Amino acid sequence: MQVQNIERPYVHVSELLTEKAAGLNLQVIAGKEGLANRIHFPKIQKPGLALTGFTQYVRPGRVQIFGESELAYLKQLDQSRREEVLKQLYSIDIACSIVTRGQQPLPEMIHEAEVHRIPLMVTPHVTSDCIEKITAFLSDLLAPKTYLHADLLDVFGLGVLLIGESGIGKSECALDLIVRGHRLVSDDIVIIKKTTDKVLIGRAPDLIRYHMELRGLGVINIKDLFGISAISLAQKIQLVVSLERWKPDVEYDRLGLEESTYEVLAVELPLVRMPVAPGRNIAILIEVASRNYLLRTQGYNASKQLIDKIDEIAADPTVK
């Protein structure tokens, strides 16, 4: 198993103000000293019961949204009670707070934001749009991420991750697949993000995108050599092929009944162990492995059907 460098992601509040998040149209009203605060969760929170003093479920490191109903509730409180609940809320180390619909924040909110160095911002968007935009923006940036020394290709629309020890021939095999009409996502280093519980998306680091390094030849640009159709910016990873040096004393699966897996970010991916030896065309074998996987996802398993047929003949020799 290869070592995976897993990052615990976070986003600084200031990133909500960048061009990438321009659609949020946020304006900082108070607490600018807290723009370096970290956001650890993509899901935002609305204060809700916290405005009554029940703050048990308010999570530090999250974005708090104040819509019309929250401000209306706060306005009907007497000033001392309003000061009390807002002080309690802003003491929890929330990442930042956002007021929607372009409403004017209450003076007590501005005061607590300054005291606790928690950015208080205003957006012209309605609450539902604001939540949708922020969640989409943060979900992408905060997705669990890891880096693997591997190659990733699009083979028949299937994301195939090639792993194996250095020098085993991953890049050469990837190049052979590209020549055969398949697409390169990344060579040597693959950035993998977990977008949902079971979905992993791989892409290349910006610096080496489109490039491949081949021993004896150097660095080549796949996009320039083969055209735009030979590359893909990102791909869902569905199959892992492990290239391994052929060892005569190792018993390899000959029937395809073994179902091995490879774990990445707590997601189990189907694994095919591919022995590498002189005379074996690994690119063709990977194409066949990909086609075979696609057939299995449709319910067809050649190995199982053969075994079932053998069992049927063994039970009744008259069966042909």
* Cα-based distances in Å from 134 to 65, 95, 248: 10, 13, 56
Same domain, 131 and 152: no
* Cα-based distances in Å from 58 to 63, 91, 128: 10, 11, 20
- Count the helices and strands in the chain (H runs, E runs): 8, 18
Residue 291: pLDDT above 80? Answer: yes
Catalytic machinery residues:
149, 170, 188, 254
Residue 319 lies in a domain: no
Residue 316 lies in a domain: no
In the chain, what percentage of residues exceed pLDDT 70? 92
54-84 pLDDT tens trace: 888 888 889 999 999 999 999 999 999 999 9
Same domain, 84 and 49: yes
pLDDT of residue 120: 97
Average pLDDT over residues 98-103: 95
CATH number at residue 32: 3.40.1390.20
Looking at 141, 175, 199, which one is the last position of a domain? 141
Same domain, 160 and 90: no
Average pLDDT over residues 259-284: 91
Residue 311: pLDDT above 50? Answer: yes
Residue 243 lies in a domain: yes
CATH number at residue 176: 3.40.50.300
pLDDT of residue 160: 97
Residue 24: pLDDT above 80? Answer: yes
Same domain, 217 and 266: yes
Domain housing 246: 145-309
Residue 80 lies in a domain: yes
Structure tokens at 38: 């970290």
